[in-house]
Structure 1
Amino acid sequence: MGDPYGNPGREATAPPEESLFGPGSQFHRFFNDPRWALAVVRATVLEAAHPQIGAALADNSSFVVHPWRRLSNTLVSLQRMFGADEDTRQREAARLNRLHARLSGTDARNQPYDAMDPEVRAWVVATLFESSVTMCRLSGQPLDHATMERLYAEFRAFLAALGDQAGHLPSTLPEFWQYYDRMVAEELQNTEALRIILYQLFEHLPAPPLFRGLPTLWAAGRALAGPVIGTITVASLPEVFRRRAGLPEVPGAQTLMQGAYMAARLTGSLPDDWIRTENFVSLLQLSPDGDGPWSERLTTLRTRTKRAGALFRLITPAAAEPGAPGAAGNQRGAREFFTDVLDQTGDGSLDWPDLAAMARELCSRLDLDEPEETRLYDAFAAWWRELQAALDSDGDGRVSADEYAAAAPALAGPALIRVAEVLFDVTDADGDQSIDAEEYRALFRRGFARSVAEGEGRYTRSAFVREFLSFMSGRRRSTPYDPLLSDA
């Protein structure tokens, strides 16, 4: 490919360091650009095509089962990293480094992967930069060279903020395009994670909060949108990679892709509040039965969409989804609980990455630092060892749905009680041995329910542990814990 605009090579003219982040940055302007949604999807596919990243995603990520949660967490993290506050950026960089340090292993071909590999991390940043440049080109507004240099300097500063040497990304734009072309032509592969994103994720995408409980309406929209998004994404990938990976060439795909990017560009003329990423993130984080003004709007929208859903059901009746409100009361079977809660990665079995995904989400919600984060991970690791010893009857290192269903009562052991106690301790930020309304909202993103607040509006240790164990071992539905651990 080379430099797509044919500019002569010269050193990137980095603006002063203090101006590379914050509201004045080029990234900040892109963050609220509707076109960036397409760019992020494209960048994610290019990341997944890297053998190490693809293996890490396949083994550890919950993006298939919980894509909206994963997207929300990613956007929040990028906001922190590119924000104006240096202390927030340092804390987020440290959190990301701790998270990545826990993601290593070997893939199905016994090839090692390590999320802390500096070359791997450089490729992640490279895909975000290149996809941002490409989104502008495909929408008819190519970046001028100065703006492109500014954006590249910002992404190199992002990599440096993580503690990685800037040299893992070339210092000049011409050198970057040479590096990018080499990676696409020689390193990227048609990985399992890439195939899952393109051909499973979009076509089986779980419903966001607005459409939860409306399976027919959501399925109808997804049946149309899923293949379209996949086709647009494939068409936007570099041709040399599409050809080498054997990705399908759909007639009219290039025209459809160009139209999608142009439409996204036109959407940018809508009022700022309509397209602001912070508002989108807030919507993703809402629970259907939450509180606050956004939840009230969600309730109103759900009421209206239910009417539309009723019309769809009259036309194409469909059975209620397992676990949908009203489908099975307050109880659920062992297999349903296994699928909804325990199997966080969606691979059909329970192993350490599933419990690590739970710990990761809890640490993210509570914004934990060390040593609290490690305490929570260690508690989940001890629970996994207990589960493995009690339930893994065939000794394959995993717990299947059949093994879990056959011995589900063994789930409530001492290690699970320890998880509940540690979770209480890290949620109780002020250490007063009770959880107040602010601490409760940090974990559950909702206000107190009348049934849990004791005394003067506080949640005691015993009540917290009792509720957690009731949910995790008794398989009872829970207003606070279901949105926390089973929502998409």
Structure 2
Amino acid sequence: MDAEGRTAPVFGPGSQFHEFFNDPRWALAMLRATVLEAAHPQIGGALIDNSTFVAHPWRRLRNTLLSMQRMFGPDDHVRQREAARLNRLHARLNGTDPQGRAYDAMAPDVRAWVVATLFESAVTMCRLSGQPLEQQVMERLYAEFQAFLAVMGDEAGHLPPSLPDFWRYYDRVVEEELENTEAMRIILYKLFDHLPAPPLLNGLPTLWAAGRAVAGPVIGAVTVASLPEPFRRRAGLPELPGAQTLMQGAYLAVGLARLLPDGWIQADAITGLLSLSPDSDDPRARTITAMRDTMNRAGALIRLISPLPPEPEPAPEGGTRRSAQQFFAEVLDQTGDGHLDWPDLAAMARELSSRLDLDEPEETRLYDAFADWWRELQTALDSDGDGRISAQEYAAAVPSLAGPALIRVAEVLFDATDKDGDQSIDADEYRALFHTAFQRETAGTEPAYTRSAFIKDFLSFMTGRRRTTAYDPLLGQA
């Protein structure tokens, strides 16, 4: 109930979660929740085998925020549709971890733990920033997360029915089930060391490396210090001297951003800005372009003061060629494990399906087309028969050959993009697929993108290893 005695909404404006969504402290809470999720053996196994969070962290962040907006927004139809999409996605994530233990993203206890970490981390972020939630607010927030799990189709009981029962459940999982998994260690200690620059900062490797070198260890220390003490002790996670003070200071400092004017800290606006290419026609890009010269001069100064290991400059776009090793690392190896296997191609299908917001039949056709392409690649390139393709195998096996299965992928993708079925892709359909690559000034005046032209361009990108303004952000953007 709200202050006037009315029933508070569970989703959308007026809900407790909606008040938190654009809270800048939520960034720290989400990272903490992700670490606790990755420490669960089943989730950790699924992340290592299937997730793109290492190679494409910014894309993963954008997609996660979009999904949460859909699930917690006011439109019930959008929420039900997103829940069905997430269920299809999770149903495809199953396998065996390196210890031989099975994992299944549809397991009820796994899904409950994911929701539990989000709720508990929201409560913790308020406590650590000196503004603990009142009991009534906490119960309201817990009811919203229970409703979220119910929308996903999970039966009652997978999360405890009451808040006191939840805290007993949470303590038990932390003390008995969580482990120091490889996925958790990557998030804490390796992700920020190799975090690629967002598109906004492409071309400024020195500035990005300098900022990352400072911020990465600080974020890692803050996150470790915020984890439950029993788990830190059991997992052997080192806590640096002064880390608790640093953590509380970080939550307090980030929380001050809430005092900024409305609209300055909108989550979708910030992620959209990070994803913005400086040479885009977006009006904000003109300001960014004006800043680049100053930032480049600052980067030159940093290099003089404190030389850093050189990072490769991004290669120019516009059809220029790149090596097979570059294409393998930037496009094909979606999970960033150094090999090409089915989870990499499944990640491509997942990204394309998300961009186009496909329903089940179209999504299944796209996944099936990518599965056929994977079998074709295995037959042609897996020379040692280990079930995956190395960068060396790829480079040595004439990857520029476009087989029937890849042509089929292009055809299915064209059909999925051509929503009105007129055998051409118009401006709106083009934008739905390519997003940042579409030039808005010419929207509605561009000639139709025909099936043959689309397939030719897609095959040229996927086999000829050519950089293109449109296709690079589609599958290669971090």
TM-score calculated relative to the size of structure 1: 0.93
Matched ranges for 1:404-423 at <5 A: 404-409=394-399, 411-423=401-413
Counterpart of 2:121?
131
1:81 aligns with 2:71: yes
Q: Which amino acid aligns with 1:299?
A: T
Is the alpha carbon distance of 1:244 and 1:389 closer, same or farther for their aligned partners in structure 2, counting shifts above 3 Å? same
- In structure 2, what is the equivalent of residue 286 of structure 1? 276
| 2:260 matched residue in structure 1 | 270
Q: Secondary structure at the match of 1:164?
A: coil
Q: Structure 1 residues 293 and 449 mapped into 2: Cα distance closer, same or farther (>3 Å)?
A: closer
Q: Does 1:476 align with 2:466?
A: yes
Distance 1:447 1:332 in 2: 20
Would the aligned equivalents of 1:210 and 1:301 in 2 still touch at CA under 8 Å? no
Aligned to 1:235: 225
Determine whether 1:261 maps to 2:258: no
Kindly tell me: are residues 137 and 98 of structure 1, through their superposed partners in 2, closer, same or farther at Cα, counting changes over 3 Å? same
User: Contact 1:290 / 1:445 at 8 angstroms: preserved in 2?
Assistant: no
Give 3-state SS (helix, strand or coil) of 1:108's partner.
coil
State the AA in 1 paired with 2:272.
S
Is residue 22 of structure 1 aligned with residue 9 of structure 2?
A: no
Deviations 1:36-83 (A, max 9, x none): 110000000000000000000000000001001001100110010000
Offset of 1:205 from its aligned partner?
Answer: 0.9
Q: Provide the secondary structure at the position in 1 that maps to 2:95.
A: strand
Q: Distance in 1 between matches of 2:449 and 2:356?
A: 16
Name the counterpart of 1:392: 382
Q: Is the 8 A contact 2:43 2:105 kept in 1?
A: yes
The residue aligned with 1:155 is 145
Question: Which amino acid in the other structure matches residue 385 of structure 1?
Answer: R
| Per-residue Cα deviation, 1:80-122 (whole angstroms, up to 9, x for no partner) | 0000000000010000000000100111111100000111000
Aligned to 2:196, the other structure's residue is in SS state: coil
- Any residues of structure 2 matched to 1:61-140 within 5 Å, and which? 61-140=51-130
2:318 and 2:467 in contact (8 A); partners too: no
The alpha-carbon deviation at position 286 of structure 1 amounts to 2.5
User: Corresponding residue for 1:4?
Assistant: none
Q: CA deviation at 1:274?
A: 1.6
Shift of the 329–292 alpha-carbon distance from structure 1 to 2, 3 Å rule, reads: closer
Tell me: CA distance 1:102–1:262, structure 2 relative to 1, closer, same or farther (3 Å).
same
Residue 475 of structure 1: CA displacement? 0.4
User: Using the alignment, how far apart are the partners of 2:293 and 2:22 within structure 1?
Assistant: 28
Shift in Å at residue 17 of structure 1?
A: 8.1
Cα shift at 1:373: 0.5
> Structure 2 vs 1, CA of residues 317 and 228 (structure 1 numbering), >3 Å: closer, same or farther?
closer
Q: Is the 8 A contact 1:287 1:483 kept in 2?
A: no
Q: Which piece of structure 1 moves more, 459-468 or 119-128?
A: 459-468
What's the offset of the Cα at 1:326? 4.0
Rounded to whole Å, the distance in 1 between the matches of 2:24 and 2:444 is 45
User: Which residue number in structure 1 is paired with residue 168 of structure 2?
Assistant: 178
Per-residue CA deviations over 1:159-185 (Å, capped at 9, x if unaligned) read 001111131001111000000000000
Secondary structure, in 3 states, of the residue corresponding to 1:347? coil
- Looking at structure 2, the residues matched to 256 and 455 of structure 1 have their Cα atoms a distance apart, in angstroms, of 54
Query: Which residue type is aligned with residue 289 of structure 1?
Result: D
What is aligned with 1:340? 330
- Normalised to the residue count of structure 2, the TM-score between the two structures is 0.95
Aligned partner letter, 1:331: R
Aligned to 2:30, the other structure's residue is in SS state: helix
- Aligned partner letter, 1:158: F
CA contact (8 A) 2:437 2:469 kept: no
SS of residue matched to 1:105: strand
Asked whether the 8 Å contact 2:317–2:468 carries over to 1, the reply is: no
Contact kept? 2:318, 2:468, Cα under 8 Å: no
- Native 8 Å contact 1:454 1:460 kept in 2: no
Q: Tell me the SS of whatever aligns to 1:478.
A: coil
Residue number in structure 2 paired with 1:210: 200
Shift in alpha-carbon separation, 1:341–1:207, aligned structure 2, 3 A? same
Secondary structure of 1:408's counterpart equals coil
| Partner of residue 374, structure 1 | 364
Alpha carbons of 1:462 and 1:18: their partners in 2 closer, same or farther (altered >3 Å)?
farther
What's the CA shift for 1:449?
Answer: 6.2
How far apart are residue 313 of structure 1 and its match? 3.6
Identify the residue that residue 361 of structure 1 maps to in structure 2: 351
Give the letter aligned to residue 338 of structure 1.
Answer: F
2:441 paired with 1:466 = no
CA shift for structure 1 position 267: 1.5
For residue 244 of structure 1, the aligned residue among 234, 243, 248 is 234
Contact 2:318–2:469 (Cα < 8 Å) also in 1: no
Change (3 A) 1:467 1:329: closer
* Correspondence for 1:442 among 425, 432, 435: 432
Cα 1:17–1:453 shift into 2, 3 Å: closer
Q: Residue type matched to 1:469 in 2?
A: L
Deviation at residue 311 of structure 1 after TM alignment = 2.8
1:202 positional shift: 1.5
Structure 1 pair 318–408 and aligned structure 2 pair: CA distance change class (3 A): farther
CA distance in structure 2 between the partners assigned to 1:178 and 1:319 by the alignment = 48
**Number of residues paired by the alignment?**
473
In the TM superposition, residue 300 of structure 1 has moved relative to its aligned partner by 3.5
Q: Distance in 1 between matches of 2:309 and 2:405?
A: 38
- Alpha-carbon distance change, 318 to 231 in structure 1, aligned in 2, over 3 angstroms: closer
Q: 1:240 to 1:317 in 2, by over 3 A?
A: closer
- C-alpha change, 1:145 and 1:391, in structure 2 (3 Å) is same
Which consecutive unaligned segments of at least 5 residues does structure 1 have? 1-14
Q: Summarize deviations over 1:297-343 as a string: whole Å, max 9, x none.
A: 44344444233223334445668644613499811111111111111
Task: Report the more deviating stretch, 181-190 or 211-220.
Answer: 211-220
Q: Measure the CA separation in 1 of the matches of 2:225 and 2:181.
A: 18
Q: Which amino acid aligns with 1:423?
A: L
SS in structure 1 opposite 2:264?
helix
Q: Distance in 1 between matches of 2:308 and 2:250?
A: 31
> Matches of 2:287 and 2:304 in 1, distance apart?
26
Matched with 1:10 is none
Quick one: which amino acid aligns to residue 103 of structure 2? Y
Give aligned-pair identity as a percent.
Answer: 73
